[in-house]
Chains A and B, each alone.
Chain A
Amino acid sequence: MGYSFPEEALEHVLWFLSSDRDRNSVSLVCKSWYEIERWCRRRVFVGNCYAVTPEIVIRRFPEVRALEMKGKPHFADFNLVPEGWGAYVYPWISAMSVAYPWLEEIKLKRMVVTDESLELISKSFKNFRVLVLSSCEGFTTDGLASIAANCSNLRELDLRESEVEDLSGHWLSHFPDSYTSLVSLNMSCLGSEVSFSALERLVARCPNLRTLRLNRAVPLEKLPNLLRRAPQLVELGTGAYSAEIRSDIYSNLAEAFSFCKQLKGLSGFWDAVPAYLPAMNSVCSGLTSLNLSYATIQCPDLTKLVSQCHSLQRLWVLDYIEDSGLEALSASCKDLQELRVFPSDPFGAEPNVFLTEQGLVSVSEGCPKLQSVLYFCRQMTNAALITIAKNRPNMIRFRLCIIEPQVPDYLTLEPLDTGFGAIVKSCKELRRLSMSGLLTDRVFDYIGTHAKKLEMLSIAFAGDSDLGLHHVLSGCDSLRKLEIRDCPFGDKALLANAAKLETMRSLWMSSCSVSYGACKLLGQKMPRLNVEVIDERGPPDSRPESCPVEKLYVYRTVGGRRIDMPGYVWTMDEDSTIEFS
């Protein structure tokens, strides 16, 4: 009674499947479906570069056209991961240069990329189209010159937030005159000035240019020259947004903006001068994304600008917006989905702006589509959090950073357990949560009980005991990434929930109370986890087993222990022995 579903038919159906999860499910149906699927997978996402090796990926998926990969743990953004930790992309580029000659896209996050890697990319992949380096480091503008010179089919070059050694702006001039396919360029992280005439000519000859994010060094007076040559721009990042106050500069700028009828996103605005803000008025009503997080403009200029952007879906801004500006935002921007408020004076002892919990409450009240929040402030109450939770059960990402660690509800002096508890109870689709303020084990009980869709949790200076960690590991069914710093979590919860760690991408714990002995035991028990101890004090063997490790990074892997660890990282292997003293 057998029948055979023709392979070609299945392949045709799979063509429509882009989601990795769906494709992974297809692969599990039977051996032949596994085979068919693996030959037609074109896009691979590797969430942790050490979870697998290039050889394994290439062996399973021989016809890949696009690779997206992430390296260092998230806390590397805040200098918690020492220099030289790893996440080198070169071995991947080297292997793919042979296996995937038709590779078109490489998107990397938090990886170390060298000029050598960039040169190899530029020479190995004839149809290379997209390079996105997000929060990467290790390369110079010479590497960029290779890309510009050799990738004749390049569509996208996006260096967002990468740390580039800026030798000169000359790299941009390496795009040949015959090169016309640029669609997206993000060079906002670079310091040096590029040749403006080279930039102008590049923009003029690339009719498909949609995204242009300039760096600070591009002067405001010259921006109109670029806008006039690219009125089809959808996303623009300005350079420095200040110039001598002159009416000719102003009118030139305003006119150039008025030609850009498709503009949906704006960013840049370094050193913004309020006098030039109204030059943007013609584009405000169409903007869906506005990043003012480098602009040190204050209310009322800031409020006035934001209130004009009625279609805004995403706003990134400094806390100069204050409660009053957020209230205006909540009245004007009913389509707002994402709000990020960054601190203008993160290390100041006293508040420098009038931004409190009330600002966030206003936005949660007025913006029905608000689902993603990153908010830095200096005070919070349980009542405010409860109100926010009640207003916005559709919240998906909620990251609250109260600048002073372990600060309680400033009205009741209680921990913020009930507030965050309300968030996880009400926001049933919550996928990401970062907490701060004074928090006891109780909040983790709430999280373990209610946060069933939670995928990423960030904890700092919180909890009382191992029970807190146990609640999270045993209760959060969807947890993929857990990062913890300065919490009194130790061996018991970790060892009791060892199996859970294989269902997650990674666990980071720094300045906690996990002993070296427990790390060894975990490494022994769980061969499919890499248990890496990071300790800059020297070999953990030189200290008693009960001594807590500085940092611990645990991740599931099919690639075995990694071979590129620096001197301060030790992998706890199956064959490490435990001494009982």
Chain B
Amino acid sequence: MSATLRPYLNAVRHTLSAAMCLHNFNSQVVERHNKPEVEVRSSKELLMTAVVVSRNEKEKVLIEPSINSIRISISIKQADDIERILCHKFMRFMMMRAENFIILRRKPVQGYDISFLITNFHTEQMFKHKLVDFVIHFMEEIDKEISEMKLAVNARARECAMEYLKRF
């Protein structure tokens, strides 16, 4: 199973490097406005083919590029109920602090757990290859963190139960 992790992350990395070619582009619909076209979706010619890279039925990444922005949505592996709850709470925690993440989107795209929105302004201020590195690193670390949290929850529950049952 982990044999697919490296190829999966490599495929996502290559696709992101290819898709993250962003130009400044003022809105064609409203003058003096500059909007991320992947969010507005008003003009077909500005949007590129949305592409999915999947590792299995549960884990996949949706990459929607456009001329001045790219939206990356990640679906995280959630094997059981505890992982589902932990994932949901963890993602919510981060999305509430999306301002500090800069490229994080406050709401995930329908069907996915978390989304990033990267615009040309971000690529102008930050290194493209570093942005890609960040997303890949994020994907790697999320799985580890959720497993760690799950272990911590189970350990705490065991401790509590032991202490409580010592009474009897």
A binds B: no
Interface residues of B, Cβ cutoff 8 Å to A: none
